[in-house]
Copies of this chain bind each other. A is one copy, B any other.
Amino acid sequence: MPQQRRAQATRRAIVIAAAEEFDRADYDATPLSAILRRSGVTKGAFYFHFPSKEALALALIRLQAQSWSRLWRHWMRRGLDPLSTAVGMTGEATRMLESDVLTRAGTRLAGQQVGTAAERHAPPDWEKLLAELLTRSADNGLLRAGVDPGAVARVMHAALVGVRAIGFEYRNGPGMAARITEIWRVVLEGIASAEWLSNNDRSRP
């Protein structure tokens, strides 16, 4: 166990270098050699830690799935009202995407056909999560009458994915987190109850 100190470091180096490379290009367009060069790890060492390039990508995907799970649990436990939870959680998720290569690469890889669908196993389903939070918001009277929570969930999901894609591709403009804040501002204006809006005036940290 203490023996594995060096091994752990090597494995970590591989994962980080891989994240940085997979963040720049597709799975297919990223040669293993680039990851090896960046991490300063030889082929032999790599294949000691991972059975294949694909396994490495799947590891990244799994890491990112875990990140989201942790994030969700954390926000659920904070005990905020569902609408604030949705806003806050998506905001933090976006900031994570901006700041954490590992999460970013994992998310990106999850959207490509790497490995069998089974191996990627159930990607984190933002749409369903948002639908739940918004339904509960409606039940608690945080949404205006007549607003369809499912529709709003789909809107926000699309916007989230879009912001991510724009952030990945264009890499300029307001920055992902700012964009998400802006989107919530516009959408909330149309769906949130007057009461919720007045209570959460201009606080979207």
Contact = CB atoms under 8 A, between A and B. Distances in A.
A94 B113 CA distance: 23
A16 interface: no
- For this chain, the copies found in one complex come to 4
B152 A162 contact: no
B29 A187 contact: no
Interface residues of A, number: 38
B29 A186 contact: no
A158 B154 contact: no
A152 B29 contact: no
Interface string A14-43: 000000000001111100000000000000
Interface of A: 25-29, 111-113, 127, 147-148, 151-152, 154-155, 157-166, 169, 173-174, 179, 182-183, 185-191
30 contacts: A25-B113, A26-B27, A26-B28, A27-B29, A28-B28, A28-B29, A29-B112, A29-B113, A111-B165, A127-B173, A147-B189, A148-B186, A151-B182, A154-B173, A154-B179, A154-B182, A154-B183, A155-B182, A155-B183, A155-B187, A157-B162, A157-B166, A158-B158, A158-B162, A158-B166, A158-B183, A160-B162, A161-B165, A165-B165, A186-B190
